[in-house]
Structure 1
Amino acid sequence: MKIIKTEYDKIKPYITKDGSIIRELLHPNIYKGVKQSLAEAIVPVGSKTLLHKHYTSEEIYYILEGRGLMTLDNEKFEVKKGDTIYIPPKTPHKIENIGNVPLKILCCSYPPYSHEDTEILE
């Protein structure tokens, strides 16, 4: 068995098409044999992601810190630390930071996140 372990401080963040700050904790483009992606997303205070959808990927968001206003298709609802949200493929979604600390989200995606699978809707 090959051990795959990442170190947070060595992972360079980048900005995705939807505008969130991402750290890819595990992704098959980096670690062969991994079939899903796991990332930390940060939405700064007063910011939001752009409304978007993924054609093939389903996502799971786990709120690590902060409060947000989640848009999932035609529904809007508040989320907070400890909440988990399932986002089916082809579902328009975005999240807005409505708290006073950065909104931190653990994002699991299968198939793995890719810019090509993401369509911005606004």
Structure 2
Amino acid sequence: MHLARYDELRPYVTADGSTIREWAGPGYSPARNQSLAEATLPPGTATIAHYHPRAEELYLFRSGRGRLRVGEEERDVGPGDCAVIPPGVVHKLWNTADAEDLVLVCACSPAYSHDDTVLVEGADGRAG
């Protein structure tokens, strides 16, 4: 049995700019077909607009407030909300709070990979 403990997880920054702690996924656990991680966005920050050609993502928001764009649709998000992001659809997430991190659990199938992340804008928010 593989058991991951949050306080032992090493954070890293994904290609889209969010800080991740991965509980399960290839390279971190015996999981081969999916990954499960917690993402954190500090107040006033945003991810880089991107898509994943292969992976479907589920975002389950735990704390904070934000705004999520999936394709052409944008919605406010907060604790208890869950968004489904299909493969190949551009998405971007903003933390709209003044003082609270936006924290979400992210499940990806197949597992998250930097190689499966296509950025569609630069780090400055301009189209790439």
Q: TM-score, normalised by structure 1?
A: 0.95
**Match in the other structure for 2:20:** 22
**Match in the other structure for 2:111:** 112
Q: TM-score, normalised by structure 2?
A: 0.91
Unmatched 5+ stretches in structure 1: none
SS in structure 1 at match of 2:93: strand
Q: Following the alignment from structure 1 to structure 2, what is the Cα–Cα distance between the partners of residues 37 and 111?
A: 7
Conserved? CA contact 2:2–2:30, under 8 Å? no
Unmatched 5+ stretches in structure 2: 122-128
- How far did 1:33 drift? 4.3
SS in structure 1 at match of 2:3: coil
Correspondences of 1:1-122 after superposition (within 5 Å): 3-99=1-97, 100-122=99-121
- How far did 1:103 drift? 0.1
Deviating above 3 A after TM superposition, structure 1's stretches of 4 or more consecutive aligned residues are none
The alignment of Structure 1 onto Structure 2 pairs a total of residues equal to: 120
Q: Which has the higher strand share?
A: 1
Q: CA RMSD in A?
A: 0.9
Query: What is the percent sequence identity of the aligned residues?
Result: 40
